[in-house]
Amino acid sequence: MHEMTRVRELIRLLRQRKISGKVRIVLGHLEATQIMLEEVRECFDIAVKGTDLEGSEIIFVPQPIKMRCNDCGAVFDVSLNDFSYKCSRCGKSDCQLLEDDELSIITVDIL
Ligand SMILES: [Zn+2]
């Protein structure tokens, strides 16, 4: 997905929460994300220019990648240093990624 599309979705979510004015948005992203975070920030600045959200800040916070074991159902964090796709409980490798690579709003503070 293009970064501007993500930004539009983000702004839609802010409006849905009736958020307006200058805010600080804490956004979670997966550690291994392919999202260009600086590009998201630039797109956001462009998208909110001239609106009440102009001057808002975005802070990116890396989130651990989670997997679910298809065998025993355990959900566990996957470390980038140990990307073995093995269940931490039963050791089977029949696991799948739990989250996609979307950005998620953690908190929004009015500035
Ligand atoms: Zn398991």
How many angstroms separate the alpha carbon of residue 68 from the centre of ligand 1? 8
- Record the tokens describing residue 42, joined without a space: 């630039």
Beta bridge partners of 24: 57, 109
How many angstroms separate the alpha carbon of residue 44 from the centre of ligand 1? 40
b/e for 91-107, b at 16 or more Cβ within 10 A?
eeeebeeeeeeebeeee
How many angstroms separate the alpha carbon of residue 65 from the centre of ligand 1? 16
List the domain boundaries for the chain: 3-66+100-110
88 pLDDT more than 80 = yes
Q: What is the CATH number of domain 3-66+100-110?
A: 3.30.2320.50
Using pLDDT thresholds of 50, 70 and 90, give the confidence band for residue 80.
low
How many angstroms separate the alpha carbon of residue 78 from the centre of ligand 1? 13
Percent of the chain with pLDDT over 90: 59
How many angstroms separate the alpha carbon of residue 87 from the centre of ligand 1? 5
How many angstroms separate the alpha carbon of residue 69 from the centre of ligand 1? 5
pTM over 0.85: no
Q: Which amino acid would we find at residue 26?
A: V
Per-residue CA distances from 102 to 29, 55, 63, 71 (Å): 7, 23, 11, 26
DSSP H or E segment with residue 30: strand 23-30
